[in-house]
Chains A and B, each alone.
Chain A
């Protein structure tokens, strides 16, 4: 099915380890996003990429880096994981000029940092 695919679905890291969350969409969307979801906090934007070749910080970018590898793929990297980064991470995409129609979300990655 067309949509947004995230890998992995679950991950446990030790403090200080690094990892990359992968995201790919096959809807030919221009814009892609990374959000984190924490209990009682809703979803908060980490980084976004308005189009291939551009990335910008969102509300909570500290401790993360991103790469827009091509139009389809947008990865999120934790260089040195901290327990505060324990969260559920969502990737999403939208048409650049149709973000007003909402986003399409991946199924999320539950990350635990111990």
Chain B
């Protein structure tokens, strides 16, 4: 079974600074997909970024980028130039192409003005 671990229950960052959220996973699959979802206080789940395991290049979406270390089974999210609207729960998730998306327990990020 696949597992996803987010070791930081809560984090804070000053506005305009950079923060990195950690995620590790465990799988025996060779081809899989990793995601970061954002859940603001509105409760809506929003896909932030997606990474395909067979791609060496780290995914980037505007101020959001990942550091994907396949050998270490690590998938961290970097948020640059943090904004107040980035305050949210962030979930790391994994799928090996099955129907199930496995989530970590989440990291609560607070952006401080």
Contacts and interface: CB of A to CB of B under 8 A. Distances in A.
A99 B50 contact: no
A44 to B, nearest CB: 8
A101 B50 contact: yes
A112 to B, nearest CB: 15
Interface residues of B, number: 24
A63 interface: no
B84 interface: no
Interface in B31-47: 33, 35, 37, 42-45, 47
A43 B91 contact: yes
Interface size class of A (residues with CB under 8 A): 20 to 34
Contact of B99 (A43, A50, A88, A102): A50
Contact of B106 (A42, A44, A100): A42
B50 A48 contact: no
B15 interface: no
A79 B103 CA distance: 27
Contact of A102 (B4, B44, B50, B106): B50
Interface of A: 31, 33, 40-45, 48, 50, 56, 58-59, 88, 90, 92, 94, 99-103, 105, 107-108, 110
Interface of B: 4, 9, 33, 35, 37, 42-45, 47, 50, 52, 91, 93, 95, 97-101, 103-106
4 smallest CB-CB distances across A and B, nearest first, come from A105-B45, A42-B103, A42-B105, A43-B103
28 contacts: A31-B99, A33-B101, A40-B9, A40-B106, A42-B4, A42-B91, A42-B104, A43-B103, A44-B103, A45-B101, A48-B99, A58-B100, A59-B100, A88-B43, A94-B99, A99-B97, A99-B98, A99-B99, A100-B97, A101-B50, A102-B33, A102-B37, A102-B47, A102-B50, A105-B44, A105-B45, A107-B43, A107-B44
